[in-house]
Every structure is written in structure tokens, then in C-alpha cells.
Amino acid sequence: MRDPVDELLLKVLTSQQAMEERFLHLEEQRVQLEQRRLELERDHEFRMFSIFAQMLSILKQGSGASPGPAAPMSWQGFGLAPEDPKRARTPQGPEQTFPVFYGLSNPGTSHLQGSPYLSNRGNDIKFKSGIKEEVNAAYYEDKYDEDKNPNGIINFGISENKLCFDLLSKRLSQSDMHHIEPSLLQYQDWRGHMFLREEMARFLTYYCKSPNPLKPENVILFNGCGSVFSALATVLCDSGEALMIPTPFYGGIVNSTYLYGNVQLVYAHLDSKITETNTRPFQLTVEKLEMALQRARSEGVHVKGLILINPQNPLGDVYSHGELLEYLEFAKRHELHIILDEIYMLTVFDESATFHSVLSMDRLPDPQRTHVMWGTSKDFGISGIRLGALYTENREVASAVANLCYFHGISGIIQYQIAQLLRDHDWINQVYLPTNRARLKAAHTYITDELKTLGIPFLNRNSGLYVWIDLRRYLHTGTFEEELLLCRRFLRNKVLLHCGKSFQCFEPGWFRLVFTDKIHRLQLGMQRIRQVLEHQTQELQQKLSLPRQPWGQEGQADGTEESVFLPMQQGPTNGTKTRDLIGLLQQQMCSSAWLQKGSLEQLAQEQPGALVSKQ
């Protein structure tokens, strides 16, 4: 028989535990509701700023003043950085009308919505996500499969080469790849097995066309180039210091430099406008680097280095030897480290473009501050095998970075297989590279022909796995909010595209389209894109009260030029724009009244999704 006192005590303790758990749950709900309320208030404030900015732009145009950039800006003219998820204010100089750097978070700042189980820094890391993470998560939950999920999402967003799986699966299945010995199953030098570092040095010497053999001791191996970025940012910069990078750029670098090292990014913004100094869209010049550097320094930001991607992601630009030398000399002049990401070096698929590695130069302006990275993910289409290599002649940098390799090691068996792959120059030169380049070119030709048919402007480049496309004319007022809505509309129509905001592009309306997939997936994806854009066009015409033009007759693109831009459709008059903006302003004023009178309980009732975390 159980003692009645024990039973009573057990019931009391059980009830107490249930009440404590209930209290904790209610407290978390309250915190989330409060944070959602703050987010709504901030969103409302920024929409108001956006509307006023556009109205001022219209007034300037009406008075004959210079209208400014071709792409309408939202809140950028008010010193607010749209890329900062916390809406942190970015100090700006009198001539600066766009954000200079990625807003740095203070890990010591508490988060209202933070979990009680995490530190402030843990909460800060937890909430470092954006539209790219949101759409990627949706894709992985609903991936397209011809047999299992034909209504799933087509991937035009994640940069993966799926064109040569047949070649790679056959090569990686051959007998020389299957080897086990004790050293491969034991602890190793965390910089990588020497046999792979030697093979990597020979591989880079050959394919980067280095005038002298590269040294294996200068090679350090990581589980991917994201880890290389994290390690370099951590050892080159103190917390709160910065690295400079031209925009648009691969957005993963933001987290790679921030999450471990708390290193911010200074942006050198590039634009699509052709001028006397800009001979091509989004052209990087030393003048733009100088301007961004001086602006950052005037704001007290200590810039320690420059990041360049060559071939560029997402633009596809391949820097000439002369351009590279100018960038390197700029970095030396200001005593900046320069980090060259050459992960796409073998994806140049047309003879009209020639890749020049920084390692091919006879003499580097500042070899002790020049660091080069490469990986197997893109050039060999094996992104699931995580391997990135850093080459640096600076022994101090190499030593510091090597201590972080403990956290980024690679399986010994994988290292053996990669070494076997890299040393097989006959297979690479005679089988893989010719086939891969031919398939890249064919897929690129198909996609660009489709874009021309649809009348979509794009940058016509011959490298990389993607095309940078211009959908600005499908935005009503040309804001990043509209770009985000279009991105989500693509996703709802089961096609994944990454918008320009994911790459910190200065101009709303640009998207990156990854074309390296089988033809039937490309065809289905383009059908879905066409459906979205046709629906978007119909909505815009209804808003603007313009007579509808037959779909696909807006214009045809000329694919013979380096960059392809279509004549933009004549936009609405200033009067129409003003009426639309006044309507938006009235809606926002109504929202303001609701926010002022609404309580947290009303928010929970009227917005049942308020407790759903936003990415």
C-alpha cells in the first residue's frame, strides 16, 4: 500500500510543475506578442518613410531636379539601412544616400523575443536569418521530384551544378577511390593530410597557371569555403572591425564573417547604369572602392580588408588581369588584406572569357596580405562534399587560421578521394571539363533564349552557374518590399529564385537564376516563372489603369551584346504615382491608428499568425 501522504505530495509537486510550465509558456507568448507588436510598428514606420521618400522623388522630378538613381529607393535616403534586420540606424554623411555597411549587432544586447535558454549572443545568432533562409527552408521541405513530388519546388535559387552527376558518380565509384588504412581513420593534422595538401598545391599550380610551384605548407584545408571566410575574418579583424566587399555579392559571406568573429561588412555599392566611367553594368572600379573606404573611415569604421569573388557571384563577371592588378594595388596602398574567392574558376564555359587567377601573377603587390580560396563545390558539382582550401604565404595568418581548423576538419576518407580526383588530370581535362563546359553553355543558351522570348533583361556573361536578371519593371513602386513579395509569389508558384536583397543589391528588382539543371526541370521552371510574371503584369496594369499589351510583345532582347537590356515599358505619370502613394499613405495612417489603440490581446486575436516566428 502506498502512503497517502506520499500520494498527496506527488500530486502537489505535479501540479506545481504543471503551473510553472504553464507560466513559462504564457511568459514566452507575451514576449513574442510584444516583439511582434514592435516589429509591426517598425514596419509601419519604414513604410511611411518609403512613401514620403517616393513622394519627394516625384516632387523633385516635377521641379526639374535630378531624379537620382533609376531604381526608386525606399527608406535609404533617410539614413536607414534596409539590410539590417534590426532596423539599426546607419550613420551617413551628407552625400551618402544609401547604406554603407551591414549593421553590426551588439552581442551584449538582450532580445525581447529571446529564449531564456540562450545567452544574448546565442539569441543574436538565432535570429540572424532573412529571406534567403526562409525560401531555402521552404524548398527543402517541398523539393521537386519527377516521381515522388512532381508538384514540388523547382530550384533556380541555390547555386549547385547538377549537370554532371553521371560523370562524377562513375568516377567516384571506381576502384581507386575505395581505400582504407589506419591513418585515414585516426586523428590527423587539422590543416589536412599532407598528401592532399600536396595534391591541392599541384592542382592550383596547374589550373591557376602559377608561374612557380605553389607550396603545400601554404595550403590549409577546411570543410567548405564558408569556414575559410569565418576563420579569416576572425583572425584578421577584431570584434567590430570590418571587411569591404562590392555589392551585389554572395549573401552567405555575411553570416560567415559575422557569426564567429562579429565582423561587419562595408559595402561598395555597384549599380546598373551605364556612364562614361561605367562601361558595363555593375562595374567595379577603384574609384568606387576608394569612395566606400573613405565613407566608412569617416564614420569611424576600421576596415581591415577587401573581399573579391572572381568569377563574380551573382553577376558572372570575370575580372581581367589589369583590373585584378588595380584592385591589388588599391589594397596595398591602404594596407588592406585582400581575400580572393576563386571557387568558380573552372566554370568559365566560353572562349570569349578568360579567367585570370591572382596566383597566375608573376609578382603580387602585397603577397603577405593576399589570401586565395578555392573549393570543389562549384567547379566539380559536389557541394555535398565539404572541402575548401586556403592558400596564403603569410605564416602568421596560416598559423592562426590552422588553430581554428580543429572545428572545421574533413574526414580522412573524403580527403583521400579528393586527392585521387585532383591528381587525375587526364580525366579532368579530357572527360570532365569539356563535357561540363558544353553542358553549362547549352543550359545557359536555353535559359537566355527563354529570357529573351519573355522580354526579361539580363547580364549576358559566360561563367558561373547563374544569370543575373532584371525584373524591375514588374514592381509597381520599385521597393524592396515589392521585391520580397515577388520572391514569395515565385515560391508559392513552386519555383525558387533568390532576390537581389539576398545579395545586398542596391537596386530593387534584380534576381539570380541558377540554370545548371536538367532540361526538363529548366522547362518546367520557366513555365512557372512565365505564369507568375504574366499574373504580375495583369495586376500592375490594373493598378496603373493602362491598356493591356499582349504578353511577350514588350520587346525582344539582343543576345549579341555583353549585357542585354530591354527598353523599359513607359511607366505611369507623376500624377498616377502620386495618387497611388496617397492611397498607400492613407492605408498606413489607418494602420497607425490600429497600432495605437490595439492591445497585445487584440493582436493575438486579430493576427493569429503573430506567434509564428518570422525569418
Do 295 and 383 share a domain, yes or no? yes
Do 397 and 504 share a domain, yes or no? no
Determine the pLDDT at residue 327.
Answer: 98
> ∠ CA(402), CA(407), CA(411), 5° rounding?
95
CATH classification of the domain holding 308: 3.40.640.10
- The answer to the question of residue 107 being in a domain is no
Confidence of residue 561 (pLDDT cuts 50, 70, 90): very low
- The answer to the question of residue 137 being in a domain is no
- Higher pLDDT: 597 or 240? It is 240
Q: How far apart are CA 395 and CA 393, in angstroms?
A: 6
Determine the pLDDT at residue 132.
Answer: 84
Determine the pLDDT at residue 555.
Answer: 40
Do 284 and 414 share a domain, yes or no? yes
Mean pLDDT calculated for residue range 119-137: 84
Mention every residue, 6+ apart, whose C-beta is less than 8 A from residue 537: 474, 551
- The answer to the question of residue 88 being in a domain is no
Determine the pLDDT at residue 78.
Answer: 28
Do 350 and 475 share a domain, yes or no? no
CATH classification of the domain holding 449: 3.90.1150.10
- The answer to the question of residue 126 being in a domain is no
Do 465 and 519 share a domain, yes or no? yes
Among 571, 397, 409, CA closest to 478: 571
Q: Taking the model in full, what pTM does it have?
A: 0.75
* Contact present, 390 and 401 (Cβ < 8 Å): yes
- The answer to the question of residue 146 being in a domain is no
If you ran DSSP here, which 8-state letter would residue 428 be given? I
User: For the chain, how many structural domains are there in total?
Assistant: 3
- For residue 331, what are the CA distances in angstroms to 152, 202, 204, 343, 371? 46, 28, 23, 21, 12
- The answer to the question of residue 331 being in a domain is yes
Helix boundaries (H) for 392-432: 395-404, 412-423, 425-427
Do 589 and 449 share a domain, yes or no? no
Determine the pLDDT at residue 42.
Answer: 66
Mention every residue, 6+ apart, whose C-beta is less than 8 A from residue 22: none
Do 495 and 541 share a domain, yes or no? yes
Confidence of residue 253 (pLDDT cuts 50, 70, 90): very high
| Percent of the chain residues topping a pLDDT of 90 | 62
Do 584 and 553 share a domain, yes or no? no
- Higher pLDDT: 476 or 611? It is 476
Examine the fold and report which residue of 423, 449, 472 is the final residue of a domain before the chain moves on.
423
pLDDT in tens, 442-499: 999 999 999 999 999 999 999 999 999 999 999 988 999 999 999 999 999 999 999 9
- Higher pLDDT: 292 or 22? It is 292
- The answer to the question of residue 387 being in a domain is yes
Mean pLDDT of all residues belonging to the chain: 82
Do 440 and 357 share a domain, yes or no? no
Determine the pLDDT at residue 9.
Answer: 85
pLDDT in tens, 10-60: 888 888 888 888 887 787 777 777 766 776 776 666 667 667 766 666 666
Burial of 250: CB neighbours in 10 Å, binned 0-12, 13-18, 19+: buried
Determine the pLDDT at residue 29.
Answer: 75
Q: Any idea which residue has 574526414 for its cell?
A: 411
Confidence of residue 129 (pLDDT cuts 50, 70, 90): confident
Q: String of b and e for 217-244 (b: at least 16 CB within 10 Å)? A: ebbbbbbbbbbbbbbbbbbbbeeebbbb
Determine the pLDDT at residue 552.
Answer: 43
Determine the pLDDT at residue 8.
Answer: 86
* Contact present, 23 and 30 (Cβ < 8 Å): no
For residue 153, what are the β-bridge partners?
A: 143
- Higher pLDDT: 225 or 67? It is 225
- The answer to the question of residue 243 being in a domain is yes
Do 53 and 192 share a domain, yes or no? no
Q: In whole angstroms, what separates CA 15 from the centre of its chain?
A: 49
pLDDT higher than threshold 60 for residue 597? no
List the domain range (segments joined by +) for residue 62. Answer: 27-68+573-615
If you ran DSSP here, which 8-state letter would residue 614 be given? P
Q: How far apart are CA 554 and CA 354, in angstroms?
A: 34
Q: Characterize the bridge pairing of strands 388-392 and 219-222.
A: antiparallel
Examine the fold and report which residue of 393, 423, 453 is the final residue of a domain before the chain moves on.
423
Among 221, 175, 214, CA closest to 415: 221
Do 358 and 436 share a domain, yes or no? no
DSSP result, 277-298: S-SSTT---HHHHHHHHHHHHH
pLDDT higher than threshold 90 for residue 254? yes
Q: In whole angstroms, what separates CA 174 from the centre of its chain?
A: 36
DSSP result, 198-251: HHHHHHHHHHTT-SSPPPGGGEEEESSHHHHHHHHHHHHS-TT-EEEEEES--T
- For residue 465, what are the CA distances in angstroms to 109, 245, 377, 444, 513? 40, 21, 12, 8, 9
Q: How far apart are CA 114 and CA 39, in angstroms?
A: 14
Determine the pLDDT at residue 53.
Answer: 64
Among 317, 324, 278, CA closest to 461: 317
Examine the fold and report which residue of 359, 390, 423 is the final residue of a domain before the chain moves on.
423
Confidence of residue 500 (pLDDT cuts 50, 70, 90): very high
For residue 337, what are the β-bridge partners?
A: 305
pLDDT higher than threshold 80 for residue 362? yes
- For residue 212, what are the CA distances in angstroms to 197, 216, 596? 16, 13, 69
Determine the pLDDT at residue 589.
Answer: 55
pLDDT in tens, 507-545: 999 999 999 999 999 999 999 999 999 999 998 888 776
Q: By three-state DSSP, how is residue 560 classified?
A: coil
Mean pLDDT calculated for residue range 401-415: 95
Q: Choose the most confident range, by mean pLDDT, from 122-131, 182-191, 450-459, 475-484.
A: 450-459
Do 561 and 581 share a domain, yes or no? no
